[in-house]
Amino acid sequence: MTLKDLNIDNTWTLFLDRDGVINKKLEDDYVKHTTEFEFIDGVLNALRILNPIFKTIVVVTNQQCIGKKIIFPEDLVLIHQNMMYEISYLKGRIDKIYYSPYLAAENHPTRKPGIGMALQAKQDFPHIDFNKSIIVGDSMSDMEFGRNAGMKTVYISDEAKIDERIDFNFKSLIYFAHSLTQL
């Protein structure tokens, strides 16, 4: 299967993980403040390119730093407001951000690989069809989230990974965005 086979048009939905896809991951740490949030090279341009391609673009992110009481929900909201401002200022778009504040040990249904955040998005955007949705993530829990919801999966990594849960591999979001403009 190739991206071209999907016949992606502006009825599709793009689900994006945050850390490792949109912003640089901090090793053994969490983004706790806006000053620690750094966009990955090419992401702002990628979101500008992806804007007209997808009807809906949402972020789904596990944020157990809240459950661990490392940051407050208000801190995360501020980080996301600044992220959204930068993205929209440069003609990109994210329609909504969903986050799961729960600890991994809680196994909460909103925490990826559970599909709670996908179901929240569908409730907010009833036109979402998971069969016409793509999740872009950098972890296997993102890929499992996509599979569990019936989405196509895009794995972001410097090295391609072969796994039944992965449909497509790309080095970064900008490589994925450019591949869609080649269709």
Q: Which amino acids are annotated catalytic?
A: 17, 19
DSSP state of 19: B
Collapsed DSSP state (helix, strand, coil) of residue 148: helix
User: Terminus-to-terminus CA distance in the chain, angstroms?
Assistant: 14
CA of residue 60 relative to chain centroid, distance: 5
| H-assigned helices in 63-139 | 64-67, 73-89, 116-124
Q: Six-digit token pair at 134?
A: 């793509």
H/E run at residue 174: helix 173-181
Collapsed DSSP state (helix, strand, coil) of residue 78: helix
Q: Are 42 and 173 a contacting pair, CB within 8 Å?
A: yes
* Closest C-alpha among 174, 172, 140 to residue 158: 172
